[in-house]
Structure 1
Amino acid sequence: MSDVDVVPAELVRAAIRAAEASGQDVAEVSLPAVAAEAGISRSTLVRRLGGSRRALDAAVRAAGVDPGGREPVRERAIRAAAVLIGEQGLAATTLEAVARAAECSVHSLHVTFRGRDGLLAEVYESYTPLFDIEAILARSGEDLRQTVCAVYRAFVTGLTRQPRVAPALLADALSRPDGAAGRLIEQYFPRAMAGIGDWLREEMRAGRIGRRPLLPLLSQLLGPILLYLVSGRLLGSGPAAEGPELDQACVELAELFVRAVAPSGNTRGGS
């Protein structure tokens, strides 16, 4: 008798249900969890499996379900949703579409992300340049020009890398401010502006930037690089920027920013 023949069909179904409920592959679900789903004790489960967890996995595979050996649902779903957003837009990125692309159940997405907004938030966190920029500002020194250039590179990388998640979310937020992307921007924008704003205030206190209102200063910092991207069609269907060309643009725009915001009589942007 094979391993598959040993395992009762109700235990196979219980294992699959437990996996879907936890957002895991069957192979990742503990035997106590399978036993609880089946309404029996762990010892009873082990006995009915013939003493082998391998038998359960083999029976699940024979039932047409991959028991494991794959990435967790969370990683598969985030990547699948990112591709859908970049290629088809936010409206097409339904939980059903993500489940098909990630080869999981809609229920497992609800369990893992607590709904579509939770999934989109994790996609945003995985592809936004915000955290890279925060890290740059956290270790910034006295060389303003170098810091601004690094911020620009991180900003451009985040907006131009494949899949094009950030541009798609931004476009959706601008067209539908009350939609899912708009809620994401509303959630994360204050954090981004607070972090950059704190850094700019510190630069003003250190005398590397002239005293001026914060909002115009933020516009001076981010406006030119965003305009560069838009004018180069990098947020749309145009080709991605060439490495050297893009790098040089970041250097030149950083230089222009430093000169524009320098205190009177100082255009060096350093110590």
Structure 2
Amino acid sequence: MTVIAVFNQKGGVGKTTATANLAAAMARNGFDPLVIDLDPQAHLTAMSGLHPEARRTIYGFFQAQTPLSELVHRLPNGVNLIPSHMELARVDMLLTQNRRDLRRLKKAMAEEMLTDSGTPILIDCCPMLGVLSLSALIAADAVLVPVTAEYLAMNGAHQLDQTLSGLTSQGLYRPRRTFLNRYQRGHPTSEKVAAELTRRYGRDFCRTRVFESQSVLEGIGHNQDVFSYAPDSEGAEDFSYLLDELIETGFIKIAK
């Protein structure tokens, strides 16, 4: 299965919401996904209704070498989550960007055979390019980039181009797919951003648009993914289509 880092160097692009709903779509299709909340803001953890102690989160892995498999929480929607905690912010200060520290997450995932289990893994990254985000990019097989239909988010995606180019120069090429989030059909800015992303990324830009959706926003307020909150909504349909496209194009590899 594929390990995907969900990342954009611009905050507020719906990265966490996209991670939660894409994982929920996977669970509904029987894929038993694992999600790692690697953002010290812990929004994905809070959205899931969890409030664990720091030692029972991904912080425990970095601070006390707690095995990843001991930190997994099974959610009611079938998603397996390794939660986050605000204490995780210390990791960027305590660890360095040397090769050993940056590969710690990838090494642990391999040693615990998480990457060979047939389970898709999503890593929700923080927007800052520090130890945590670099660790996720190194651990990942591919990078999924949500871009809201506004210019600053598009600039964040362009900054990520430079980051991924730097990894490629070190022999760490990571395929990337960009998709448009919170799209509004017919809105001038939405259409301009969509046209520019199509021009810039071509086949690496998803055909699927995730529309601005009240059901997605309301689901967050109820600590639910859109499939649990409004399974027949346009928001649920959009994330189902996005998952289908990522599988059909081979971006997400499905174990036979």
How does the TM-score come out when normalised to structure 2? 0.27
Q: Between Structure 1 and Structure 2, whose CA radius of gyration is higher?
A: 1
Could you say which structure has the higher strand fraction? Answer: 2
Could you say which structure has the higher helix fraction? Answer: 1
**RCO higher in 1 or 2 (8 Å CA, sep ≥ 6)?**
2
How does the TM-score come out when normalised to structure 1? 0.26
